[in-house]
Amino acid sequence: MPVPDQRDPAVTRASLEAWLRGRLPDARDVQVSAVKTPVNNGFSAETLMFDAAWHEPGGDRSERLVAKVAPTGFQIFPEPRFAEQFRLLQILAGTQIPVPTVHWQETGAEVLGAPFYVMSRIEGDVPTDMPPYHSGGWLTDVSPAERESIWWSGLTVLTQVHALDVEDLNLGFVDQTSYGPTGLRQRLAYYEHYLDWAYEGPVPVAQAALKWLREHRPAETAEPVLLWGDSRIGNIIFTSGQAAAVLDWEMATLGQPEEDLAWFLFLDRHHSDGIGVPRLPGFPDALQTIARYQQLTGRTLTDMAYYEVLSAMKFAVVMARIGQLFIYYELVPPDNDFPYNNTATQLLARILDLPPPGGDMTNPLA
């Protein structure tokens, strides 16, 4: 379910056109057209797709563009970290990580009501969250061989992210040191804060998971790497089974690579086991994926069971906030139990062998 679209397309087109004229001082006849919001527009930020055409001294130009707009009403994360995303994309553009080219940034709210940045639109297909790609969408129609290629291509990108030199690229700005030292102590402090902020009521299974994670926290002996954060095939544009662009860096931070790989695996598990459907043929399983990651990186992974619980807890917190969003937009009544009784909390309870969240669930995502 997308965030409710409250923009007037004609007003948005005119605003973008006037703004783009200011960004292209040598251009004339600047025109913006085909402004639209993707059907699967995300919860954490608004996406606007549009076409632009203009004439410049060298001839006519046209671009298919995307504007990412900072949250204006309801935030999914306590700190959107919007400017950090733009800065990170600029840095990643100079590496082997396939990211869209970012062209311009607008830090004020005068044009679209919030800061935004504009990047090139990459053609291709993105595995769907609504419906989860194991239950519907274009991945159900491709061959098992293409699904396998998509999975391994996504994993390869993940290893490339982890191989980046944090110091050489000056990536320390993504580290959320206000919550503690780099790594698990920081992450648990952040998600404790996030959980308190996310939903007005309690989420017992997430609170139990936080307690378990503190009691079983493993040692972190390796140097921290850049973590994509929202590392999953649902954040990659694919063409012919290969990763063409990596999207959504709002959860980027520093830490152990197991955390990213566990999220990669857990979100896929949620989209199958978590919703009660089998995985599509062709996708490698968790053990094969871990083995391939170790082969590609030469690193032995440790404590993956711990990091799966961490991933499940993180997703339960995100879903609590999404539940609060449903209440905010009056998509469900204020007493609906979705924030604490949903597919994420149910799967987390199973992983930790806890009683399932109670009550009847009306699922707005269905």
Give pLDDT tens digits for 30-52.
999 999 987 654 566 789 999 99
Give the mean model confidence (pLDDT) for residues 275-294.
98
pLDDT at 362 over 80: no
CB atoms within 10 A of CB 252: 24
In a domain, 4, yes or no: no
pLDDT at 364 over 70: no
Query: Does residue 296 contact residue 162 with C-beta atoms inside 8 Å?
Result: no
If asked whether residues 336 and 229 sit together in one domain, one would say yes
- The predicted structure's pLDDT at residue 42: 57
Burial of 127 (0-12, 13-18, 19+ CB in 10 A): buried
If asked whether residues 94 and 143 sit together in one domain, one would say no
pLDDT at 27 over 70: yes
In CATH, what number is assigned to the domain containing residue 247? 3.90.1200.10
If asked whether residues 145 and 210 sit together in one domain, one would say yes
In CATH, what number is assigned to the domain containing residue 58? 3.30.200.20
Q: Whose CA is closest to 23, among 117, 151, 89?
A: 117
Tokens of 138: 């274009």
pLDDT > 90 fraction of the chain, expressed in percent and rounded: 87
CB atoms within 10 A of CB 141: 8
Task: Give the domain range for residue 42.
Answer: 9-120
If asked whether residues 332 and 220 sit together in one domain, one would say yes
Last residue of a domain, one of 65, 85, 120: 120
pLDDT at 180 over 90: yes
User: Residue 97 and residue 160: Cα distance in Å, rounded?
Assistant: 7
Instruction: Scan for tokens 């990186």, then name that residue.
Output: 297
pLDDT at 200 over 60: yes
Give the mean model confidence (pLDDT) for residues 263-278.
98
For CA atoms 185, 187, 188, 189, the dihedral sign is: positive
- The predicted structure's pLDDT at residue 366: 37
Please, what's the b/e burial string for 278-302 (b: 16 or more CB within 10 A of its CB; e: otherwise)? ebbebbbebeebbebbeebbeeebe
The count of structural domains within the chain is 2
Last residue of a domain, one of 120, 149, 165: 120
If asked whether residues 191 and 337 sit together in one domain, one would say yes
If asked whether residues 187 and 336 sit together in one domain, one would say yes
- pLDDT tens per residue across span 300-330: 999 999 999 999 999 999 999 999 999 988 9
pLDDT > 70 fraction of the chain, expressed in percent and rounded: 95
User: Residue 248 and residue 42: Cα distance in Å, rounded?
Assistant: 10
* Phi, psi angle pair for 67, to nearest 5°: -105, 125
pTM reported for the whole predicted model: 0.94
If asked whether residues 165 and 265 sit together in one domain, one would say yes
Query: Does residue 28 contact residue 41 with C-beta atoms inside 8 Å?
Result: no
- pLDDT tens per residue across span 99-115: 999 999 999 999 999 99
- The predicted structure's pLDDT at residue 120: 97
If asked whether residues 274 and 147 sit together in one domain, one would say yes
Higher pLDDT, 343 or 9: 343
If asked whether residues 111 and 143 sit together in one domain, one would say no
